[in-house]
Amino acid sequence: MRAEKGSPDGALRLNQYIARSGAASRRHAEEFIRQGRVQVNGSTVSELATLVVPGKDVVKLDGTRLKLPEHSSCFVLYKPKEVVSTLDDPQGRPCLKAYLPPGARGLVPVGRLDYHSEGLVLLTNDGDLTFRLLHPRFKVQKVYNVKVKGTPDAASLDRLKRGIVLEGRRTLPVEIKKIPSRETRHTWLEVRMSEGRKNQLREMFFRIDHPVIKLKRVAMGPLLLGALKPGQWRELERKEIEALRDAAGLGRENGGEKS
C-alpha cells in the first residue's frame, strides 16, 4: 500500500480495486473510504489516492475481504414484463434472481427496467464497468423501442429531443425516430439516450400526452438484445465484454488493460 507517486506494476487506485471487486461503484467506494470503512493490510485508509497491488495487499470493507474476480463475467438477459429488475423483492414479486444462470455468483444488474417494461438487462461482476455504463458523463447510449398512444406531432417530439424539466432538472437530449409499423391508432418510436432516471421515458411521453403503452430496451452501447426471448440469457463473449469496456472508456485505462 502506498500513496500515488510512482505506480508499481499492476497497482490500482483503491476505489478502482473496490469497484472491480464488485462491492460498489467507484463513487460509492470513495464514500466508503472517506467514512473509514476500508482497511488495507489491517489499517484504516482515508487517502483516496492510495494504490494497492492485487494479490499482495489485503483490502477489506467493513471487515470483509474483497477479492478481484478472475475475469469479468457478463450476461445479457431478456427481462420479461412484470418482473422486478432487482435480485430480491420485499413484496414477493418475480425478480431477476429467478432467471440467473445456474451457479452464477456476484452478478448485479446494470441499471433497471421498470416492472412493466421488458428487454435487455446486463448482469456483471464488474463494478467499474457498471458505474461507467450507467453514468451519463460517459455517454453510453441505451436504445429503446417504445409504443406510445396516438401519434405525436413533430413539435412534441422535438421538445423531448431537446430535453424537458422533470423533478426540477432538465433531461439530456435524446434521439427519436419513428419505426415503420402497421399500427394506425398508435406509434412505435426508437429512442436513444445516455441518461436513465427512474421511469424517465414514461414520464417524458406522459408530459406530451402520448403515454407509453409498451417499452422494450434493445441495446446498451454495442450490446444488442438480438434473438433472445423473454426469460432467456446468454453469456457475453470476450470480444463483447471488451467492446463494452471500450464504449465506457475503460479500454484506455491502465495502458489499455481490459481485465
Active site residues: 114
Q: Which residue is listed with cell 507517486?
A: 5
* Contact (Cβ atoms closer than 8 angstroms) between residue 107 and residue 123: yes
71 contact partners, CB below 8 Å, separation of at least 6 = 259
Which of 253, 254, 223 has the alpha carbon at shortest distance from 237?
223
Which of 255, 247, 183 has the alpha carbon at shortest distance from 219?
247
* Contact (Cβ atoms closer than 8 angstroms) between residue 77 and residue 233: yes
Q: Go through the chain and tell me how many residues it has.
A: 259
Q: Which helix (H) or strand (E) holds 175?
A: strand 175-178
112 contact partners, CB below 8 Å, separation of at least 6 = 85, 86, 198
Rounded to 10°, the helix 238-247/127-134 angle is 50
Enter the C-alpha cell of residue 63.
471487515
CB atoms within 10 A of CB 119: 23
